[in-house]
């Protein structure tokens, strides 16, 4: 029992290390700017398909998925990136102003940044599981963010914890941080995604019944 527990722990750690290093490698292959989106999507795809089975987390599997995801994932990433840059720029301007109104505006924009981040995490999860148009993918991700406020907080707190630990142990950037974010996004959004998936299936069945 003890040895099997240690073995599972080793497999878990090795999977995290492999995924994180693959993520960094393929991000660099895309010149960072064109690599991050498809590389993160590929990480989520492999976790969704194989779980924490490190034997299927191969370089060839990663490369095949990365190539497949390249165009569409970059489109998703750039849209979210442009939204983020727009909000950050306005937040920067707002912080130069003084007064209660501007302070409230700062808080709202920080909240919007968190919403964008969580929306992107939902987006890559849905992209991994559904074959739907980009517009519907964004709609579904947007709805999911507001589906449950406590679920939203759960995701944020997990990401903040990972960032805090990384800040204190910066070597994790190379070996674990990005893989942990992908794993956490899979785990923390799972319940809400399943609820939404059931509702979509019920609506589809009701639609078919009417025709």
Specify the residue for token string 């960032």: 163
Instruction: Give the mean pLDDT per block of 10 residues along the chain (211 residues).
Output: 73 93 96 96 96 90 97 97 96 91 94 96 95 93 89 94 95 95 94 82 64 59
CB-CB neighbours of 207 under 10 Å = 9
Residues whose CB falls within 8 Å of the CB of residue 41, separated by 6 or more in sequence, listed in order: 65, 69, 73, 76, 124, 127, 128
Q: For residues 188 and 154, is the Cβ–Cβ distance under 8 A?
A: yes
State the pLDDT at residue 2.
54
Residue that is written with structure tokens 């950037």 in the block: 173
pLDDT value, residue 211: 59
Look up the domain containing 19 and give its range: 5-209
**pLDDT for residue 204:** 64
Other beta carbons less than 10 A from residue 165's beta carbon: 13
Q: Among all chains, which residue has been given the structure tokens 């964008």?
A: 116
Q: Which two tokens stand for residue 56?
A: 């299927």
pLDDT of residue 115: 96
pLDDT value for 207: 52
Please give the structure tokens belonging to residue 100.
């209660």
State the CB neighbour count (10 A cutoff) for residue 11. Answer: 14
CA distances for 138 relative to 2, 26, 31, 76, angstroms: 45, 25, 26, 9
- Number of domains the chain is built from: 1
pLDDT of residue 205: 65
Answer yes or no: pTM beyond 0.75: yes
- Taking CB atoms within 8 Å and a gap of at least 24, the contacts of 87-93 are 87/112, 87/113, 87/116, 88/113
pLDDT at 88: 96
Q: Is the dihedral of CA 87, 174, 176, 22 positive or negative?
A: positive
Residue 51 makes CB contacts below 8 A (sequence gap 6+) with none
Query: What was the pLDDT predicted at 3?
Result: 59
What does the alpha-carbon distance between residue 24 and residue 140 come to, in Å, rounded to a whole number?
Answer: 28
Percent composition of the chain: helix, strand, coil (DSSP 3-state, to 5): 85, 0, 15
Cα–Cα distance, 106 to 62 (Å, whole number):
40
pLDDT computed for residue 147 by the predictor: 84
pLDDT at 174: 92
């Amino acid at each position: 029992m003890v040895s099997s527990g240690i073995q599972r722990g080793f497999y878990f750690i090795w999977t995290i290390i492999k995924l994180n290093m693959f993520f960094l490698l393929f991000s660099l292959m895309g010149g960072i700017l064109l690599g991050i989106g498809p590389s993160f999507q590929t990480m989520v795809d492999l976790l969704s398909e194989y779980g924490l089975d490190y034997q299927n987390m191969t370089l060839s599997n990663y490369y095949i998925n990365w190539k497949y995801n390249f165009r569409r994932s970059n489109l998703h990433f750039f849209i979210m990136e442009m939204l983020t840059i727009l909000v950050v720029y306005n937040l920067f301007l707002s912080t130069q102003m003084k007064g209660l109104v501007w302070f409230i505006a700062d808080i709202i924009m920080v909240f919007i940044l968190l919403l964008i981040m969580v929306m992107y995490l939902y987006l890559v999860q849905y992209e991994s599981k559904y074959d739907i148009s980009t517009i519907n993918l964004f709609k579904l991700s947007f709805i999911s963010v507001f589906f449950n406020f406590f679920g939203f907080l759960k995701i944020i707190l997990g990401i903040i914890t990972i960032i805090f630990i990384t800040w204190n142990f910066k070597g994790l950037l190379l070996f674990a941080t990005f893989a942990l974010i992908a794993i956490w996004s899979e785990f923390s959004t799972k319940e809400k995604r399943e609820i939404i998936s059931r509702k979509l299936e019920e609506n589809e069945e009701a639609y078919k019944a009417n025709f």
